[in-house]
Amino acid sequence: MQVLPEPVWRARADAHAATVDALTAGRLERRADGRKHPVEDFLFEYYNFRPAQLRRWHPGAGVALEGAAERGDWSCYAYAEGRASLDVASFVAKRESALLFVRRLLSSTLSRPGRFGCFGLHEWAMVYRADDEQVRHGGWPLRLGSAGTDQVVEQATITCSHFDAYRFFTPDAAPLNRLSPTRGDQVTMEQPGCLHGGMDVYKWCFKLTPLVPSELTLDAFRLALEIRELDMRAAPYDLSELGYEPVRIETPAGRAEYAAEQRAFSERSNDLRRRLLDVLPELS
């Protein structure tokens, strides 16, 4: 058990909170004003992990914090002899099924090569033949208009492997997908080239809080922010007003740009998957 003196760990906790505050300031300001952001809001609204939760620092397993009496009341923490630490046995008892699933999913994803031919068409399939009320980000215009957007979908080969993207396809777009992912086959279908799979590493980190060290969760959050930006730059919306230059996946140059960024994200998300597996306990 590593023991951190109180001044050391409190400084780390404060630095972590300050970093999170800087990364989430825009979200908190918009929420106070009732404004929406089609790119950045996703990580908070879809994943449902609040900035206040993200800014709370956890050292992970095997670390004792001197003088952290307040953590004695925190979930899955134990306090004894003037030190607080994660009660791993208590955490495992509460979250065993989640741990088993995440280990299987991460290991399975790492075992297969990434696929880089989807070109972000899932966002286009979500607005295919949709009326104004059905468009997910209805406050933003489509770069190519409705007819042009539909034409891109009809001329493309759609191979979305991620259920949580596929389930938002419009009824007319769903049959165009060459794959039929379901929640039940997520472990067998997820692959590291998928942008949503890369963002999901952040989800698995925070769902296994406080077992996962906050430094890892924050790294996953940062990567998810970058991935989300590419996800929406390649989407059919015109977000130039927000300063986002589109990745025009309807062109050969745009598809090449998207695939190159996708490959880089795949490598980085796999690094995070390995780091996450390293901190998860082995369960039979």
- The span from the CA of 80 to the CA of 91, in Å, is 17
The string of pLDDT tens digits covering residues 192-241 is 999 999 999 999 999 999 999 999 999 999 999 999 999 999 999 999 99
Candidates 242, 222, 248, 203; CA nearest to 38 is: 242
Confidence of residue 76 (pLDDT cuts 50, 70, 90): very high
pLDDT of 39: 92
Is the pLDDT at 10 greater than 70? The verdict is yes
Average pLDDT, the chain: 94
Residue 177 in 3-state DSSP? strand
- The span from the CA of 237 to the CA of 214, in Å, is 34
Is the pLDDT at 136 greater than 90? The verdict is no
Confidence of residue 3 (pLDDT cuts 50, 70, 90): very high
pLDDT of 151: 97
Q: Are 249 and 234 in contact (CB under 8 A)?
A: yes
Report helix, strand and coil shares of the chain as percent, to nearest 5. 55, 5, 40
Phi-psi category of 259—alpha, beta or left, where left has phi over 0 and alpha has psi -120 to 50? alpha
What number is the average pLDDT over the span 63-83?
96
- The span from the CA of 26 to the CA of 243, in Å, is 15
- The span from the CA of 39 to the CA of 186, in Å, is 25
Lowest model confidence (mean pLDDT) among 121-135, 175-189, 247-261: 121-135
pLDDT of 284: 58
Residues 6 or more apart whose CB falls under 8 angstroms from that of 124 comprise: 149, 152, 153, 156, 235, 236
Angle at 181 (CA atoms; ends 281, 172), nearest 5 degrees = 150
Phi-psi category of 65—alpha, beta or left, where left has phi over 0 and alpha has psi -120 to 50? beta
- HSE on the CB side for 156, CA within 13 Å? 28
Q: Are 186 and 194 in contact (CB under 8 A)?
A: no
Residue 249's alpha-carbon distances to 37, 133, 137, 159, 284, in angstroms, are 22, 25, 19, 14, 45
- The span from the CA of 20 to the CA of 51, in Å, is 7
pLDDT of 33: 87
What number is the average pLDDT over the span 88-95?
95
pLDDT of 139: 80
- The span from the CA of 95 to the CA of 223, in Å, is 25
Residues 6 or more apart whose CB falls under 8 angstroms from that of 201 comprise: 220, 223, 224, 269, 272, 273, 276
The structure's pTM equals: 0.94
